[in-house]
Structure 1
């Protein structure tokens, strides 16, 4: 079983403070050069108006236009263009659902504090490779008020938290389901596991440049040996008497238990239908004529595996004396020195890192999926052993990460069960979310006004 069997996120349940990425940055699509405005009449900007009301909250034409434009950009980037009428329809549906769900979050007493908003804003900046100061300048250039942008962030965090709370509460994973899932995975793995074989062999050698007249009696001898073995004579004794291998049939011709792919393909095909204890037909190779007996055939034990990563990092914690911009610049310069060989990662970690791993040169040990925060783990998983990432901003500060090794390791029973529950939960999330969203929409009063323009 590989790590792809265990997705660590549902489609919607990823933390909004991480997922708010480049599409959140407003696109300044209305800016025109003097030349372009002179070449055609200036369009009269229509007054915004309400297109729908959800309970007591309005949805405006401008909201629909903004979201539909974003949906079209995203669809275009994915290679599936979306026409304007369909984009507007989808945008209106999404806005109705979001408004109803945000109202439910507020009715349930869910709030987003300023610290959570600051973290979300920092993650948007980081995902767009900007500092918070540069992000705010970009917003100002595009005519977006900071208060409006932060309100959008607040609404996204509200949506995430109410969905997590309400939908997670609908999901139940029983021990029986976990056990059944693990058994299915073990069975599937066993079917893919390599077969191990222990064969015994008698070789009747054929010298190089032998003529047909010389080969025929050798083939006849091999067939006679095979007949005697199949009739019940002791194969080991026949091997000692007739086999012309280098060891003259020592160990009764046994070749030892090994994976099937470590035997010649000719041998594997010849004994494919031969049961344990059975003897093959005579087969010819470049060395001569072979007679094979199947001593053992067994399936390698099925073991659930997980891909583990060994990484090290340098952490700089932010504070009054160290801004995010300064930390990013410091670690960017250090990364260049490490990559070019001018600096040693472990030595730099011991000197600079503000983390408990500093004494070990930043070494974090072997880690299974899910042990680190998502933003750290996503960056780490993209690295090859020996590769150093660009500086990463997380909720703990700014990191410089290097992956030193990877391995597939057997999972403990506790790991198997925890990851099995995650898979089963992922499978149920979509269905549970659809049911919950339909329930919220069904209980909301929706009044359609004018069509979006």
Structure 2
């Protein structure tokens, strides 16, 4: 039998279970009192109860989603068994590289699942407990997240993207389509009719000019359209056009929109059906990317075996005072900082992109003037003293574009490489089936 076909069926079985979990896992689990080992997989085993439960779960998922089950039920059971083996191998690999998710993370995921089912977290947990599957669901979520993290790490390192591939992609129609910006445009229409006299058309032109003059940040086009519908006898049209690429916009607007700034208003634009006023509400993507950057130095002190939390804070405050007294920040950082990545450079973090620091640190740094030194502050890893040495708006358009292209190419290669990797780890594992 072709290994690729077997593995595709295995991936379907795993995907069906994930769909089951994300939809509504309220079906009661049937527990098997008498259990036995049906497979040895490296250092672990697969139990008969695991196979039976998985068959029930996937069958329920298929029925709920209107998917037919395979005609060959013996092969169906064999494929589920193979999926369990592949999962077991992955969980053992994940354990070896210490991939683990704590209870708080699992709770956040369950909270999202609750929202998808229009329930509060507590209501969702109660429903799971009532059906006897709460603990089972938590562990299945943990397992799926663990395997996905392992797959991302192991498969992405196998994928190589060359500079030539990036160039070819950016020059392709698909690449140009992906890199094109998305525009959110709002449209207001003052319609013409065949019965309009020159005086009525002039009145509509004046109305358009008046509306344009009033639109600003506090009175956007949407508000102007609503007000005009209430206050004029003219039947005002138009609506939000939503997110669209430039080529998806009405041809009348496309060439205008690409040159607009966010919040900018253009019009009146005369068309056969009337006068249009448009506003660029938002824009995302595109190849032009300017990023605010901050040049930062910091000193980090972490509590340890010989220095508790209070002592660490006190030491950070002493260092802060030494800096205020005129001692060199970089020298103190080299002598005292616990941040291995920046200590040699005197605490220099180089130019950091906006959003590139932990939130608690970014908040402090953003409030500093250039050459300003922060009061000691706490992050998740320790106490910090930070200094801002510069700010700039940096053009990262080329870097951003090439990174986007590389990510797109990586995503295209991921599924095939994942399939190959799963086949390899299955072939490398010791597996003994027990009748």
Q: TM-score, normalised by structure 1?
A: 0.42
- Bigger radius of gyration among the two: 1
Which fold has the larger relative contact order, with Cα–Cα distance below 8 Å and residues 6 or more apart in sequence? Answer: 1
